[in-house]
Structure 1
C-alpha cells in the first residue's frame, strides 16, 4: 500500500514579513479610526452643550428686523443678563423665539411721535440702523413707562414689526430673554458682528 503524500506550502520569509506588516497596519488603522470617532463624538457633544447652554444658534424668519437681519440668515446669540439700549436680543413669546432691538430698560419712559421718532426719558434716540421710521402697530398708551425687571423692544422694520408697542407683546421680562445676538454666520458674504 502506497502512502499519500501531503504537500505543505511553507511561506517564505518575505511572505511572513509582508503578512506581519499587513496585520500591524490593520491594527494601527483600527486604533486610529476608533480614536477619530471618539474625538468626533466628544466635539459634537461639546458643540451641542455650548449651542444649548451658552451660545444658541438661531435662524431668522420674517422681516421685522430688516434691514439689519433678513429671513434665512443664521446668527449666534450669547446668554446674558446685562442688556444695553441698541443691542439686538432674542426672547421667548409663548413658544416662539423672536428677535428685536432693546429700546429702553426697567423704569424708563418711552415716547414715540406720529413720525416714528423715539424718545427715552426725554432724549431722542439716534437710530442709524433704521432705513425708515414709523409709528407702526402701536396700541399702548404713550408715553409708556417700562415695568420693573422688563425691557421695551422694537424691530428695525418699524412699519411691520409687532413688538413692545403692541399690547399683544408688551414689555419683555428678564426671564423671557434668551440672549444677545452677537454674530451673523450665514450667508458667508454677510458674516460678521451685529451692530
Structure 2
C-alpha cells in the first residue's frame, strides 16, 4: 500500500511539473535588482501573458538577458519621482511596502515628470539603488512586445516559496 501511494504521488508531481514547465516556464533570477522581493539565484515561474497591471512583476528580454522588474506605470501614465524617492503615478503616491530603501540610483538620467509612451510600460526594480530600469534612458520604458510574461511564483528556494 505504501509503495502504491508513493508511486501515485510521484506521478502527480510529474504531471504538475510538466504542466508548470509547459505553461509557466521556470527561470533563474540573476542579480539583486529586485531585492528584497527576489534575490540572486531565486527561481521563478513565469506565466506567458501580455496581460498585466501596475504592481505586477514582469519578465522581459534586454540585451539577450532575461530581466525581472515591477510594473509601475502603463501607457500614457505620468510618472514622477520626488527627491525622497517617492513615486507618483498620475499624481497619486504609490504605496510601496516591498521596498527596503528609496535611495536613488546615481546612474538615473531620465527627467521627471515623464509620460509613458503608447505601447510601453514603465518598470522599476525593488532595489532602487542598484537596479537598471526605466529611470535610465539606455533601458527606458519596456515595449510590450519585449515582455515574456508575468512572474506568478517563486519556486526556489523552497523556504521562500511565494505566489504573486
Relative to the length of structure 2, the TM-score reads 0.85
**Is residue 2:36 matched to residue 1:67?**
yes
Which structure's relative contact order is higher, taking Cα pairs within 8 Å and 6+ residues apart?
2
3-state SS in 1 of match to 2:103:
coil
Whichever of the two has the greater Rg, that structure is: 1
How far does the alpha carbon of each residue in 1:38-76 deviate from its partner, in whole angstroms, 9 at most, with x for none? xx9xx79x93x8636x31211111100000001111110
Picking from 145, 148, 166, the partner of 2:118 is 148
Structure 1 residues 129, 160: CA separation in 2 closer, same or farther (over 3 Å shift)? Answer: same
Structure 1 counterpart of 2:158, from 154, 169, 188 = 188
The alignment's C-alpha RMSD in Å is 1.8
Corresponding residue for 1:123?
92
Q: C-alpha separation between the residues in 2 aligned to 1:170 and 1:97?
A: 15
Alignment pair present for 1:159 and 2:129:
yes
Secondary structure, aligned partner of 2:154: strand
Q: Is the 8 A contact 1:89 1:181 kept in 2?
A: yes
- CA offsets per residue over residues 61-97 of structure 1, 9 Å max, x none? 1100000001111110101111111111101112111
Distance in 2, matches of 1:107 and 1:141, equals 16
TM-score (normalizing by structure 1): 0.72
Structure 1 residue runs of 4 or more that deviate by more than 4 Å after TM superposition: none
